[in-house]
Amino acid sequence: MVLLPGRSMKRTRIYVPSVGPAAWQQFLAEPEKQWRTGYSAKTLAHCWEHADGLPLEIAAMFPAATELLFAIPEHKVPLLGGNRDSQNDVFALIRHGDQTCAATIEGKVNEPFGPTIGEWLSAPSDGKLARMRHICELLGFDQTPPPNIRYQLLHRTASALIEAKRFKTDEAAMLVHSFSTTKMWFDDFAAFASLFGSKAVPDVSAQIALDNGAKLRLGWATGNPAFLVI
């Protein structure tokens, strides 16, 4: 590789096509630790690459015929407060019918959703408090959600709304793509959905109209367990 004067080796906003599931590993926060058969990162990569478009269970989250315009693994979305972006397992730009959707996909097998809000704010820094205010503003909450709610679900959803605004899509979506055969941690997702007055049902999405006029789709999609052994 030839470096031009004044240019350094850093990531750019230019993306190249994937050459297969293994190409996803390099973007993980801990590539060697997280890339394991039966765990979400590797399972998700094989599922999405095999689909050559949207996996059927993700397409079923939308009311009309779908088309995957593009997908980016481990997509980082900056959030106010702190110095860590929200790193989404997949960001997908999706067309369904005559609508477009900016979707963040959270892959799961048996891994939990991380700390609750109560745990995350147990030692609140100015940065954390600023981030929580920013997320609440995006989601239309007038106060911090209950301490039992999983923080990860908040910032993944905030990421979808930020990207929907950036790409000027008709709606945002935060979809959990779970390969757990027992729907582990579904109750946490249902508790999060209830904040919007929505009753979560596996494999059925709900569209929510936020007070600021934004449209948000939430859903839990059950993945094919065949990808757990690849």
Mention every residue, 6+ apart, whose C-beta is less than 8 A from residue 14.
Answer: none
Mean pLDDT, residues 22-33:
96
pLDDT at 9 over 80: no
Output the pTM of the full model. 0.94
Please report the pLDDT score of residue 115 as a whole number: 98
Q: Burial, 64: exposed, middle or buried (Cβ in 10 Å; 0-12, 13-18, 19+)?
A: exposed
Q: pLDDT tens across 107-143, in order?
A: 999 999 999 999 999 999 999 999 999 999 999 999 9
Q: Residue 114's domain spans which residues? A: 38-229
Is residue 222 domain-resident?
yes
Is residue 133 domain-resident?
yes
Is residue 78 domain-resident?
yes
How far from 2 is each of 7, 10, 17, 171, 202, CA to CA, in Å? 10, 14, 21, 41, 50
Please report the pLDDT score of residue 13 as a whole number: 83
Q: pLDDT tens across 69-116, in order?
A: 999 999 999 999 978 999 999 999 999 999 999 999 999 999 999 999
Q: Report which of 47, 104, 88, 53 is spatially closest to residue 223, judged by C-alpha positions.
A: 47
pLDDT at 4 over 70: no
Q: Measured between alpha carbons, how far is 66 from 11 in angstroms, rounded to an integer?
A: 31
Please report the pLDDT score of residue 5 as a whole number: 52
pLDDT confidence band for 2 (50 / 70 / 90): very low
Is residue 10 domain-resident?
no
Q: Give the other-Cβ count within 10 Å of 65's Cβ.
A: 9
pLDDT at 166 over 60: yes
Is residue 46 domain-resident?
yes
Is residue 158 domain-resident?
yes
